[in-house]
Amino acid sequence: MGLTITEKCIKKSIVAGDWQQRGSRIGLRAHQTLGYDVNAVMTFLALDQLGIDRVKTEVSVQYIDHNMLQADYKNADDHLFLEQMCAKYGVICARPGSGICHQLHLEYFGVPGKTLIGGDSHTPAQGGLGMLGIGVGGFDAALAMAGHPVYLAMPQVVNVHLSGQLPPLVSAKNVILAVLQKIGVKGAVGKVLEYTGPGVATLSVTERSTITNMSTETGATSAIFPSDDTTKAWLAAHDRQADWIALAADDDARYDARLDIALDQLEPLIALPHSPGQVVPVAEVAGIKLDQVMLGSCTNTALPDVLQMAAMFKNQRVASHVDAALYPSTRTVIKAALKAGAFGALVDAGVRIFEPSCGGCNGCGFAPQSHGVSLRTTPRNFAGRSGTADDQVYLSAPEVAVASAITGVITDPRTLAWEPAEYSVPTHFERPANLFIVPEPVTTVTYGPNLLPLPQFGQHAAKLGGEVLLKLPDNVTTDDICPAGALYLPIRSNIPAISKHSFQTIDPTFYQRARDAAGGVLVAGNNYGQGSSREQAAIIPRYLRIAVIIAKGFARLHLANLVNWGVVPLIFADANDYAKIHAGDQLQVALAQFEAEPTVTVTNLTQNTTFTAKTPLGKADRHTVMVGGKLNAIKESEAQTCD
């Protein structure tokens, strides 16, 4: 039996479990890891607890890209701490402003056929060059850096078969928007989207990376393209020919499902507020007046994107009522775009130029006005993520964004008469000097006042429960639980401070009620915890003594974070029981047999009823949860080894 690309990559990094058993627990050892500033503070605090001298991977890279605002000491302290921790543990550190992690990693580190464990949900971006990228929370990133396996369910592999070629002004973002339109934001949970077919050869590496990056929005474990001659040329253009291998699925590879996308049939698509899964043709919403356009993020400001934007803006102007900005993805892109003469067209058009960073994507630098309508090339548009609570954010490809910035209303770029300028993508990229800090051992690490010790939690009692503090709908995001934005990112590693803002957009009374109740239970719908890798969304409930969350379903990455921090995740055995619970009910969960038996009885003391819930966790993870989280489980197993 032939193998898929996914199986070939997993076979290279598996250290526990059986890759041939879909859904079974497998342990992968990372060849590489990546981390980003806001989450990595806790990753390094966790690394301190794991007792290693230097990281055990082939390459580990720390990026400082998500929050570049230095409005006071907090962020600057965090950046200094990260640089020193990188030196202490042998991690390569990208200087602040060098670039957004996924694009910079693609340029300098991604290797076809290897496995990258990244502390960011869009780690599948490396799938654009045939690397298996899997996003995890900060604690799992620390484990991977320390040489421990990262455990996950062996995914199903879906063949996304691409045929034809994209029409003019319909670029790669529309491919993943089309996938989202077909399968929605939880359509690929537990799956890898593997892109194959003759359409693959028509796409560049950065186009492929846009597609695999945003495959995260389908709930996928990862996404991957073959490594072919296009990949070889990309690596050669960055002086990394030696990293190339040919990688493709075998002719008789077995896929679990197939999805067909005819590239030549695609039209410009757009995701409506407030979900990347609410996708419609641009024509359906054309004419909506815009306040803001953001060009940028890890998906859409590689060099070909920037050159295309410049070509469209040449001799054009941003509409007078629109605020438009560009976040180039890396300093490599800036250097090449300057050399091509492309920045002049953007500057003359009236586009604001920010430094390479996530910035506006996560509410750190380009928030729209109150009720502002913003069109963005970013991967996500969860409510309030821009930094403005009542934002109206649409997502599109760069061509739609530029056309709309010029007209001032949402516009299908194919309806504009414009004379494109010509900028060509170079075959060799000049590397800017001083992108990375080469690690050297240090003895001193500065723990600024914003840095608190890693939270520690104890093991659970045989009965848990309390008041239902929130009854939540489907698709609650990590942004809902632990907000993004310039006010909140600098306090993400300060759990007592950030917890005061948890669920604030859903129920501003939540924090105080949780404190007053000294614990309780959360009840949620499907896909609870979708979105980012931030483990604070799991730590906060635990810190507030909420030890149990009962949902119709959990997002993969958030579920792993709940395990790591000792929160008991339960799923309704009968989804109809969700409707019978009311906020304020008192629940009690019997956990005496939890490690042996995944099914538990929940008593609703207020209604004098019982129902059954089950956990999606295997035995080892159930034990981890009961002892209070991964750190406790590791210490326990190390103590047993010493005995």
Residues in the site for ligand F3S, rule: CB under 6 A? Answer: 66, 100, 102, 120, 122, 297-298, 358, 361-362, 378-380
Q: Which is nearer to ligand F3S, 328 or 379 (CB)?
A: 379
- Using CA atoms of 70, 71, 72, 74 in order, give the dihedral in degrees to the nearest 10: -50
Alpha carbons 144 and 534: distance in angstroms, whole number: 16
Instruction: Give Cα 310 to chain centroid, integer Å.
Output: 28
Asked if 495 and 536 touch (Cβ cutoff 8 Å), the reply is yes
Give the shortest CB-38-to-ligand F3S separation in angstroms.
9
- Cα within 13 Å of Cα(308), Cβ side: 22
The answer to whether residues 225 and 207 touch, using CB atoms and an 8 Å cutoff, is no
Q: How far is the CB of 380 from ligand F3S (least distance, A)?
A: 6
Whichever of 114 and 122 has its CB closer to ligand F3S, that residue is: 122
Could you please report the per-residue DSSP string of 552-569?
S-B-HHHHHHHHHTT-EE
CB-nearer residue toward ligand F3S: 92 or 633: 92
Q: Which helix (H) or strand (E) holds 337?
A: helix 331-340
- Kindly state the smallest distance separating residue 20's Cβ from ligand F3S, in Å: 33
Shortest gap between Cβ of 537 and ligand F3S (angstroms)? 15
Q: Are 340 and 423 in contact (CB under 8 A)?
A: yes
The residue (of 154 and 293) whose beta carbon lies closer to ligand F3S is 293
Residue 153 or 325 with smaller CB distance to ligand F3S:
325
The nearest distance, CB 281 to ligand F3S, in angstroms, is 24
42: CB partners within 8 A, 6+ apart: 138, 139, 454, 492, 493, 535, 536
Shortest CB 479 distance to ligand F3S, Å: 11
Contact between 198 and 165 under an 8 Å Cβ cutoff? The reply is no
Q: Which residue is nearest to ligand F3S (CB)?
A: 358
Nearest to ligand F3S of 105, 630 (CB atom): 105
CB of 300 to ligand F3S, least distance (A): 9
Q: Of 397, 371, 395, 375, give the one whose Cα is nearest residue 384.
A: 371
Please, what is the minimum distance in Å from the beta carbon of residue 411 to ligand F3S? 24
Joined together, the tokens standing for residue 56 give 């055990």
| Identity of the residue, 328 or 569, whose beta carbon is nearer to ligand F3S in the bound complex | 328
Q: What is the DSSP letter of 185?
A: T
Q: How far is CA 203 from CA 210, 301, 312, 528, in A?
A: 10, 16, 20, 34
Residue closer to ligand F3S by CB (options 146, 491) is 491
